[in-house]
Chain A
């Protein structure tokens, strides 16, 4: 069935290093969203990508949506301790009985050492 795979599951980096998490879907997505969950908190929306090949930036964060709309990535440049948390991608399909349902990846838990 439809699922969104996300890797890696864990990432430990030294402060100042870069970080990337990847999402892949078995089917074409209508859009993809990214969320961040701080330790002890709840997921908070970061950004949404809709167009094939779309790239969006938020300060040190760069989000990409693949040309085939089946994969996406989040890249953080020069990580800071405030980046600690779990990053989830969530893809939404636009076909079939699961119209509009959001499929979450398992998340990448980022630890940043000072």
Chain B
């Protein structure tokens, strides 16, 4: 079974631009979560989608948005990029959104904002 696929793997953008990241979950998984990882800050939760509905949202500004499609693939968008948005963005999928599911992470998209 293929793992979680994130594209692109690397991105370089400039301040003020917007970016869209993509995540294809493991086949059969319906829940997708997004995290931002920066040195010293650990994994910061962005949002979680299940069956095309946002179930939970972290404490990020409205510039960060996401969506999930009927095939469970998910995208996240960051508008008006700031230097501080430079980070590794990780997507994780799980079978359901139930309390005991295991998260399977993708390799991440490394975003650099210049």
Contact = CB atoms under 8 A, between A and B. Distances in A.
Contacts, number: 61
Interface in A87-112: 88, 90, 92, 94, 98-107
A24 interface: no
B18 interface: no
Interface in A13-38: 30-31, 33, 35
Given A42-B105, A102-B33, A88 B100 contact: no
A43 B43 contact: yes
Interface stretch (A44-52, A55-63, A77-85): A44-52
A20 to B, nearest CB: 18
Given A88-B42, A88-B43, A100 B90 contact: no
Given A98-B56, A101-B45, A104-B42, A44 B105 contact: yes
Contacts of B42: 6, 88, 104-107
Contact of B108 (A9, A42, A44, A48): A42
A49 to B, nearest CB: 11
Nearest to A86: B42
Nearest to B106: A42
B55 A100 contact: yes
Interface string B47-67: 010000001100000000000
A43 B56 contact: no
A105 to B, nearest CB: 7
Contacts of A41: 107
A42 B107 contact: yes
Contacts of A105: 42
Given A42-B106, A104-B43, A105-B42, 4 more contacts: A33-B103, A42-B105, A43-B90, A107-B43
Interface of B: 33, 35, 40-43, 45, 48, 55-56, 90, 92, 97-100, 102-108
Interface of A: 6, 9, 30-31, 33, 35, 41-45, 48, 50, 88, 90, 92, 94, 98-107
